[in-house]
Amino acid sequence: MKKYFPPKIIAEIGCNHKGDFAIAKELIRLAKTCGATVAKFQKRDPKTLLTEKQYNSPHPVPENAYGHTYGQHREFLELSFEQHAELKKYCERQKIKYSTSVWDVPSAEGIIALNPEFIKIPSATNTHFEMLELLIKKYKGDIHLSLGMTTRKEEKEILSFFEKRSALKRLVLYSCTSGYPVPANQVCMLEIDRLIESYGKIVKSIGFSGHHQGIALDMSAYALGATWVERHFTKDRTWKGTDHAASLEIPGMTKLCRDLKEAFQALRYKKEEVLDIEMVQRKKLKTHVATKTK
């Protein structure tokens, strides 16, 4: 019999705070109010992550830029490790878990020092094996990893890397299509089935990182067996920035958390052939009750 676990919902704040520490804290509080399990951010070291040419090039979408160059844009959106430490403490006071996606080795080192319950690897850097090695060796928590824009060959290399280091039971894999936003016909929800069939017995669990609009598909992801559901979260989808268009606002995140928790209550088998709640209706409406034939 198939068994479902309570859904764990990640409000991916990412850089939707617009580089404003006060907004970052406000989004934590709002994520908790909505019912999310985790408030998650992102950490990059732009000068490590970007080449000199990338750093000094203009943002590819000028209307989303927070600086004259892409590097300046990324620097503007970064919060310091000290600020991340305070965000973690604030999450603890709000009784919501803190986590962060890390994009490079310096970022991973700094977040490891904060010792969150898990650290996320975004699709863009899931083959950064130097960083994965660091996390496996120096960090004791779980490692969550998204598989957007990843070939099957790369996927197998990632799993082999974790297996050789006896770290598969710390690994949570996320089905993901990397786009902002992604139309429903490209979300490819049955990838969750494939991941469960291929790796469900060897990794810690399977998740779903969605960049679509609305919340209907998240219900499908959970019903298919994704224990973790991650959605970008913002206060205002009209704010400047790449991720806002694929983010949920407060009403959407509230409904998502409510509906996933109700789905958990509903995904079960009947304990009796006819439940107590049905007996009144059975007596009143079931007029042709089968009887034993002679």
Topology annotation, domain 8-285: TIM Barrel (3.20.20)
pLDDT attached to residue 242: 83
Cβ–Cβ under 8 Å, residues 16 and 248:
no
pLDDT digits (tens, 9 = 90+) for 144-167: 999 999 999 999 999 999 999 999
Cβ–Cβ under 8 Å, residues 135 and 115:
no
Q: Model confidence at 232, in pLDDT bands (50, 70, 90)?
A: very high
Q: What is the pLDDT of the chain when averaged over all its residues?
A: 95
Mean of the pLDDT values across residues 246-256? 96
* pTM exceeding the 0.85 threshold for the entire prediction: yes
pLDDT digits (tens, 9 = 90+) for 191-226: 999 999 999 999 999 999 999 999 999 999 999 999
Domain boundaries, the chain: 8-285
pLDDT over 90 at 143, yes or no: yes
Q: Model confidence at 122, in pLDDT bands (50, 70, 90)?
A: very high
pLDDT over 60 at 294, yes or no: no
